[in-house]
Every structure is written in structure tokens, then in C-alpha cells.
Amino acid sequence: MDVNTAALKDAILGQDFLTWLWFRSEKNGWLFRMADGGEVNVYLEQKVSVRGGEGDNVETAVVSGPNAAFAEAREGLKAGKRVDRALLRLEQDGNTWMVQLKADDLSLNALRTPKIETRAAEGEDPDGPILEKLFLVEKGMGFVEELYGQFLAARLGPDWRAELRAFADWLGEKA
Amino acid sequence: MPLMSASGSFTRYKIVGDVPDAVLREPVDILKHHAFQDIDATADERSFGWVSFEDMLDNRFASAPPQKAHYLLFALRLDTRRISPAVFKKHLRVALDAERQAGKEDGRNFVTKDRKTELAEQVKLRLMARSLPIPAVFDVVWNVDTHDVYLNSTNSKVQELFEDLFTLTFELHLERMTPSFLAARILGEARTKELEDIEPSPFAAGA
């Protein structure tokens, strides 16, 4: 894909992904099955931003709160806006990752991995803590990539229209 | 090692094409060609280059090798001299006042536009030489099994600087894993067309 086309499609794919992820995580009871057989809990947390319009008419609404149901952001969705930033909490086997995703580039902002011991104990490999940290960083990135892969399978699959109808029903339920 | 902080921002890249074995065998020799050069003793506005992952003062990679398990770890150091606009404004005033005073004594009571530009340049240079460069370090992680590369920053200026220097150093091209490129990677080249045709989904309307 050439760079210009990619730049045009980035925001579309990123916003479709995050919007779908919000709905799909609630519909799934916040549970996603991974390709390796493991399961990951995915929650949208504290802060979500929705965006609509084009060019000079772009409008963004940022909704935040510790236990937010994001009612205002849902109103935004009803008005045709789509999610452009979300803070995700990912949980697996008692470990927690937090990451803020921006739809336009899917860069991983403020990625917080499970806590590690930053100093190697005596007799341990001095590189141990670094390697453990890298393992956790890559694991967090892997979760995001796999969720994105699941989105793409749905988005480009034959059942996307059915998924959109389910989305509209979900949005209506929360009125 | 900013990477070791509890939370950090990352940009993901994939290396496009094959990586020559020599790059992985002798990364230190290659990194040294574009190692960071100190500008403390100069008036240069900025300097950037590679340093050791473990120590930002080590641009010879003497303290530790970049190879750790199946990773190459190094860091991009960027030093920048900044002059506070208020400081610049004050010193430019002082220089202009002195110029006007000297002009008056010669029977001139104005400073030409060109002369003002020249004075501003001189003031900037003088202040640059007196200010200390501010160092910043961004960790780089290269997984040599997958050829995924992570930059410990999402700042667009740092991303561009890093991409250019990486290509210059290793003669390898990086692809930033934005939604389009990541999707192309996941789906494979054959399905790129589907991505090119994609339009925003009418979520609220329900298909």
C-alpha cells in the first residue's frame, strides 16, 4: 500500500476498530479468546474520546470519569461520531496492562505493564529485569495486535452488516 | 533506561526487506558511525546520535554490548539548546538600544531592517554559546527474531528523526505500524485492495 493511501485509511480503520472494540468487549462480557487458547479481559476505562465530521467541521467529545458509563460518548456515537481515543485495561491471569490507543496511528501511549522487580537478585542474570520488561511490553502489544486482527476478520468478513445491526441494538439498549 | 519506567509510550515498526547478517553480527561498528557527538563545548543548536542503552554518556558502547538475548538495545540521544523567548527579547532590546545610541552619535536615528536581522542572529549565537544543551534519551528495541522495532516515544518529531537516522545507519527501511500497515501485515499483501477500498462504517445507522 502506498503511503498516501495508507494515511487516508489509517483514521478509518483505527476509529472503526476502537468503536467496535467498545461494543464487542461489552457484548462478550469483556472476554476475548486469543489464538493460543488463552483468554484476555478487555475493558474501556476512565476516558474515551469520540470524533465526528470532516475537515473544518471535526468535532471531538472527551468523556472521562472513574466509573464512567460514558453516556455522553454514547450520545456521540448515536450522532454518528466514532471512537478516536480509548484507555484500555487488559487482564490475563491476574496481570494487568493499561494502554491508551489513538485511532489515527495505533501508537501505544502510556503502556503500563504488570509490575516487575527492577533489580536482579544476587546470582541472577543481570539482564533478567530488562528481558522480563521486554517480554511484558511485547505481550501487551501482542494483545492489541490480536484484538485488531479479530476486528479485521469481522470488518472484512461476510457478517459485518449483522455486526453493525447488533451494534445499533446495543446502542439503543443504553438509551 | 526510560524503558524500565512503570509506563512508557511506544511506536511500533517493522523492518522492510531482508536484514544482512553483518548488521546483526557487528552492530556496534555500525552504530558507532552515527554515534552521538557532544556539543557542550560548542554553540550548536542540536546534536543527535546513538548511545548505549545502559548509559547515555557512553557513545562507544563500552559499558555494555547492545545484544541482549534476541534483542538489540540501544538509544537515540538528542541534545537541544533552547533560548527562552523572554531572554532573547531582552538581549535583543539591549543590542538594539546600543545600536541606536551609536547611530545617534553618528547623526542617524534609525536601525535598518537588515541590521536588525543581523543583530538578532548575533544575539541568538551569543546566547546559544552560553546555554547548556538539554539532553533527551529514547530507547530503541530491535527484536532480531521478528525484526519488530520499538521506539520509546510517540512524539512525531522524534519518530521522524529516528526513522531517518535508522535508515542512514543500517541502510534498512522501517514501516510504521499504523492501522493500515499493521492491517496489511496481518492480512497479507493479497488483501491490500480490500483495505484500500475501506470506508467508515455507519455504526449508528446499523448497516
> pLDDT per residue over B187-197, tens digit each?
998 888 899 99
Whether A102 has a pLDDT exceeding 80, the answer reads yes
Are B204 and A156 a contacting pair at CB < 8 A? no
User: Chain B within 8 Å of A120 (Cβ-Cβ)?
Assistant: no
Residue predicted with more confidence, A148 or A81? A148
Which residue of B54, B71, B182, B191 is the best one to mutate when testing the A interface, meaning the one whose CB has the most A CBs within 10 A? B182
Q: Is B128 helix (H, G, I), strand (E, B) or coil?
A: helix
Quick check: A175 pLDDT over 70?
no
| Long-range contact pairs involving A120-128 (C-beta distance under 8 Å, separation at least 24) | A127/B68, A127/B69
The reply to whether residue A127 touches residue B69, judged by beta carbons under 8 angstroms, is: yes
Q: Is B196 helix (H, G, I), strand (E, B) or coil?
A: helix
Contact B204 A9 (CB under 8 A): no
Task: Write out chain B residues lying below 8 Å of A171, CB-based.
Answer: 203-204
Percent of chain A with pLDDT over 90: 58
Contact B66, B31 (CB under 8 A): yes
Asked whether B194 and A29 are in contact (CB, 8 A), the reply is: no
Say how far apart CA A92 and CA A135 lie, in whole Å: 14
ipTM topping 0.85 = yes
Q: Is A86 on the interface with B (CB under 8 A)?
A: no
CB A120 within 8 A of CB B11: no
User: Which residue bears the cell 470519569?
Assistant: A65
Digit-coded pLDDT (tens) for A132-144: 999 999 999 999 9
CA dihedral A25→A26→A30→A32, nearest 10 degrees, is -40
| pTM recorded for the entire structure | 0.89
pLDDT digits (tens, 9 = 90+) for A31-75: 999 988 899 999 998 788 888 877 777 888 888 876 667 778 888
pLDDT, residue B153, reads 96
Contact call for residues B191 and A149 (beta carbons, < 8 A) = no
DSSP state of A55: G
Residue A125, CA distances (Å) to A120, A133, B145 in order: 7, 14, 21
pLDDT tens digits, B55-104: 999 999 998 889 999 999 999 999 999 999 999 999 999 999 999 988 88
Name beta bridge partners: B52: B74
Amino acid B68 reads K
